[in-house]
Amino acid sequence: MIKKLLILAGLFIVFQFGYSLSCIASYYRVVDGVLRYTGAGQNRVVKNVDIETFEDLDWAFGKDKNRVYYLGQNIKNIDAKTFEVIHEYKPIPEFIKSPVPTCGPPNIEKFKDKNGTYELKDIQNGKLQLEE
C-alpha cells in the first residue's frame, strides 16, 4: 500500500513539474529562418517580422524595429520606435499559491508609446487589437 502511494505521489510530482515547465517555457525562436512563438497554448509563425532587429522582451512580448508583438501577434497601432516598458514585475508562480495550477501573467504590465500609455489588460480586454 505504501509503495502504491509513493508511486502515485511521484507521478503527481512529475506531472506537476511538467505542467509548471509548460507555463514558463514560452519563447520566441528562429527555426529555418522563420521566427516562431511557442507558449501560452500557441505555436505560430510570427508574421511580418524583421528577424535581424527582433528582441525577446519577456515570455509574451517581443519587438523589432517596426512592430511590437504579444504572443507572436503584432499589436496594432503601437509604435515600435517609441515603445517603452514602464512597469515589469516578477509574479509568484501560480502553481505555488493556487490549488489549481495556472500559468502566471507575463512580466510586462505597463508600457507606452507616442500614442499613449497601456496596460496588459488593454490587450486582454480588446482595447488594443492583435493582427490575426
- Give DSSP secondary structure letters for 71-89: TTEEBTT--TTT-EEEEE-
**Domain residue limits, the chain:** 2-124
Residue type, 88: E
pLDDT of residue 18: 43
Predicted TM-score (pTM) of this structure: 0.70
Q: How many helices (H) and strands (E) does the chain have?
A: 3, 10
Give pLDDT, residue 100: 45
pLDDT (mean) for 1-6: 64
**Residue 25 pLDDT greater than 70, yes or no:** no
Side by side, which strands form the sheet with 42-45? 27-31, 34-39, 42-45
pLDDT of residue 14 exceeding 50, the answer is no
Please report the pLDDT score of residue 16 as a whole number.
47
pLDDT in tens, 84-127: 999 987 655 554 544 444 454 448 989 999 999 999 999 989 99
